[in-house]
Structure 1
Amino acid sequence: MAQTAVRFGILGCANIARQLSRAIMLSPNTALCAVASRSIEKARKFAADNGLPSTVKIYGDYGAVLDDPNIDAVYIPLPTTLHAKWAVAAAEKKKHMLLEKPVALDVAELDLILKACESNGVQFMDGTMWVHHPRTERMREALRDERSFGQLKMIHSVLAYNAGPDFLKNDIRVKPDLDALGALGDIGWYCIRSILWAVDYDLPKAVVAMHKPVYNDAGVILSTGASLSWEDGKVATFYCSFLSYMTFDLTVLGTKGALRVDDLISPFQERYGSFSLVSESDFAQLEQGRWAPAPREHRVGSEVPQEVLMVNEFAKSVGKIKGEGLKPDREWANISRKTQLVMDAVKASMEKGFEAVELVEYI
């Protein structure tokens, strides 16, 4: 039996909502039915600028979307400081929820959101798109190949972009009352998620923030990093910044091989993503090239953009709840919580003078 389309409403007209409105319309199992902003004029402009169908309802109040009985799920791209309020409200109205990252200011706030989702039987997923790309599963397979990759030893993730003076002065991601986590929340979230992904979401034992983070005058983080360590000897480092050249790199090193990707969160092409893998290589004679064997590029196709795959995956879970009476898939909530725990530990280490913070997963 074909799944009935999951009917979406969007709370907020942030720039990322342009990408997700398109994804919702492209996904075969979703329909965009409503868009809301704090002013109906802004919502109307968003609809016009993005060519939304005339059937999409326009609201000048977020609560109106939650009160609409014809909405099954909501996408929430609001500033992080508003997540707890509107995510809990959405759950209480039985709206399934795709929540933009970072999902909360801290794990205590996230737990309030997840408790509301659990109590009301609604599906939760955060907006980390790259994990849904087919490339990600192919990279996972490469890391699990003990013959060519060996035992995982080290991970390094760098996500940065030189945001420019206007961004650094006016964007919500540098405002303490809107997105107080700054670069740590906006792109550090991706760094942490990529590290946890590489270790099958095994939480580290300890986290140490790097010295000399950069803050703006309002105390919002513009640039920072950290190291993570596990009891079995694995280590990881990351760096995130609004002040450095655009870089979306991930490197994973094993005892026999290394995997590298340089467009992790946003593939250069919508239709495919690439990564390089080198295994048991060594220095070669000059006439044979510098490396033998040379790194191999693996190109993984995707019929649709990764954000469409994310929306489609979310909608499948919602469809199983609506159509088959199944319970929500809690794995996505668990992954979000682990990411938030590590982010909290990085911030705690910064506040404690860059001391090591032992990470405990709270029950």
Structure 2
Amino acid sequence: MTQKVRWGVLSTASIAQNHVIPAFMRAENAEVVAISSLSGRAEEVAEALGIEKAYDSYHEVLDDETIDAVYIPLPNSLHKEWAIRAAYKKKHILVEKPMALSSTDVLEIKQACLDNDVMIMEAFMYMLHPQHQRVKALIEEGAIGEVKHFESTFTFYLADRDSNIRMEKELGGGSLYDVGSYNVHAMRYILNEEPISVRSDAVIDEASGVDLTSVSYYTFKSGVTASLTSSFDHFHQNAYKVIGTEGMITVPYAYRPDNHGGLGEVILQTNTYTKTETFMNDLYRDEAEHISYAILNNQEPINTLTNSYQNMRVLESTTASFTHNETVTIDNDE
């Protein structure tokens, strides 16, 4: 393999056009050489973004032997199928979150990747922003005493819900699997612990059956608690707090610092002072370079398959809780 990973993209989804493909073009160790679309827009998008090849089917990308890896920004319900197809074509994979619609699906993807010796990473790009490493360091240093509670909110008002695939239940729609998956992921990442139970309530859209809002409460074996909110009905927020016995850490641009020019803030408050630290990065470029480096050097990426599996277990349990109106014990064994 060359020193640049050659990427193909399955679909002309807006996240690919507006964020991920331009980021791959900025990366030092990656390049996008092909894009595909079933809508006939591949050639138009390829020309606009300076991509060498345009295909009218996803299979053509997978059959292209010059392509090392694929990025999959398809609807959630198609992630499993095309990740497995890509694995059997020996393509490494970056797949949008959530990786699939169930933990069983994730295990099937994992087996396909192991059988074909390919790398895969679920695209929780927020992890690569340095603000989160700073939060973890502050916790480790005891800056807020003993951690007691984690609170996270990722919401926005979905205006085009009549035509947006996020409102299609059969495609894996709903606020929990969309923005709520970040809340769950960050809770587990920052606390470095798996929840043991969840009690969740949701506002369900009568027409589509998807959750417009979910509010969930988690408990941990250590005694820590967490409260998470996702919504398509609220003003935009993407923040979390870590509350301890002696202070609190707030991260106001936790999941989309790119909407603030790449700016991240970590605000530490104690009884005697408040301190704000700022961090900058090119989030999507860092994601592109990270997964490409992992591929080139045969190293496990920061967001592992085990992590993706565990995250899906929590999402499944949360859905079960608000569906059946009951507290659910979370099984964390793979």
- Note the C-alpha offset of 1:44: 1.7
- Alignment-derived partner of residue 324 in structure 1: none
CA distance in 2: counterparts of 1:228 and 1:109, whole angstroms: 24
Structure 2 SS opposite 1:177: helix
Q: Report Cα offsets for 1:282-316 as digits up to 9, x if no partner.
A: xxxxxxxxxx42x21101132xx111111111011
Equivalent residues in 2 for 1:97-112, closer than 5 Å: 97-112=93-108
1:318 aligns with 2:322: no
- The AA in structure 1 aligned to 2:333 is Y
- Alignment-derived partner of residue 169 in structure 2: 176
- Alignment-derived partner of residue 332 in structure 2: 361
- Note the C-alpha offset of 1:176: 2.0
CA distance in 2: counterparts of 1:330 and 1:300, whole angstroms: 19
- The AA in structure 2 aligned to 1:119 is D
Structure 1 SS opposite 2:284: helix
- Alignment-derived partner of residue 191 in structure 1: 183
- The AA in structure 2 aligned to 1:33 is V
Equivalent residues in 2 for 1:194-209, closer than 5 Å: 194-200=186-192, 202-209=193-200
CA distance in 2: counterparts of 1:271 and 1:81, whole angstroms: 30
Q: Is the 8 A contact 1:159 1:191 kept in 2?
A: yes
Q: Is the 8 A contact 1:188 1:240 kept in 2?
A: yes
Candidates 295, 302, 313, aligned match of 1:341: 313
- Alignment-derived partner of residue 240 in structure 2: 250
Would the alpha carbon gap of residues 68 and 5 (structure 1) be closer, same or farther in structure 2, given more than 3 Å must change?
A: same
1:300 aligns with 2:279: yes
- The AA in structure 2 aligned to 1:21 is I
1:53 aligns with 2:30: no
Q: Report Cα offsets for 1:81-109 as digits up to 9, x if no partner.
A: 11111110001111111000111111111
- Note the C-alpha offset of 1:25: 0.6
Would the alpha carbon gap of residues 128 and 328 (structure 1) be closer, same or farther in structure 2, given more than 3 Å must change?
A: closer
- The AA in structure 1 aligned to 2:249 is L
- The AA in structure 1 aligned to 2:230 is C
- The AA in structure 1 aligned to 2:49 is L
Q: Is the 8 A contact 1:154 1:254 kept in 2?
A: yes
Equivalent residues in 2 for 1:11-22, closer than 5 Å: 11-18=10-17, 19-22=19-22
Q: How many residues align?
A: 332
- Alignment-derived partner of residue 32 in structure 1: 32
Would the alpha carbon gap of residues 271 and 357 (structure 1) be closer, same or farther in structure 2, given more than 3 Å must change?
A: closer
Which is richer in strand?
Answer: 2
Q: Is the 8 A contact 2:34 2:46 kept in 1?
A: no
- Note the C-alpha offset of 1:221: 1.3
- Alignment-derived partner of residue 231 in structure 1: 221
Candidates 289, 309, 329, aligned match of 2:286: 309
1:132 aligns with 2:128: yes
- Note the C-alpha offset of 1:24: 0.7
CA distance in 2: counterparts of 1:251 and 1:329, whole angstroms: 26
Q: Report Cα offsets for 1:260-287 as digits up to 9, x if no partner.
A: 01111111433431121112x1xxxxxx
- The AA in structure 2 aligned to 1:234 is V
Structure 2 SS opposite 1:244: strand
Q: Is the 8 A contact 1:216 1:222 kept in 2?
A: no
Equivalent residues in 2 for 1:40-189, closer than 5 Å: 41-48=40-47, 51-53=48-50, 56-146=52-142, 148-164=143-159, 167-180=160-173, 182-189=174-181
Structure 2 SS opposite 1:144: helix
Structure 2 SS opposite 1:70: coil
CA distance in 2: counterparts of 1:209 and 1:3, whole angstroms: 48
User: % of aligned pairs identical?
Assistant: 28
- State the TM-score, normalizing by the size of structure 1: 0.88
CA distance in 2: counterparts of 1:334 and 1:215, whole angstroms: 32
Structure 1 unmatched ranges of 5 or more: 282-291, 322-326
CA distance in 1: counterparts of 2:236 and 2:318, whole angstroms: 22
Q: Is the 8 A contact 2:122 2:303 kept in 1?
A: no
Structure 2 SS opposite 1:264: coil
Q: Is the 8 A contact 2:151 2:240 kept in 1?
A: yes
Q: Is the 8 A contact 1:124 1:333 kept in 2?
A: yes
Q: Is the 8 A contact 2:242 2:248 kept in 1?
A: yes
Structure 2 unmatched ranges of 5 or more: none
Would the alpha carbon gap of residues 276 and 329 (structure 1) be closer, same or farther in structure 2, given more than 3 Å must change?
A: closer
Aligned-residue RMSD, C-alpha: 1.7
Would the alpha carbon gap of residues 123 and 65 (structure 1) be closer, same or farther in structure 2, given more than 3 Å must change?
A: same
CA distance in 2: counterparts of 1:241 and 1:192, whole angstroms: 14
Structure 2 SS opposite 1:69: coil
Structure 1 SS opposite 2:209: coil
- State the TM-score, normalizing by the size of structure 2: 0.95
Q: Report Cα offsets for 1:120-139 as digits up to 9, x if no partner.
A: 11111111111001222112
CA distance in 2: counterparts of 1:332 and 1:149, whole angstroms: 29
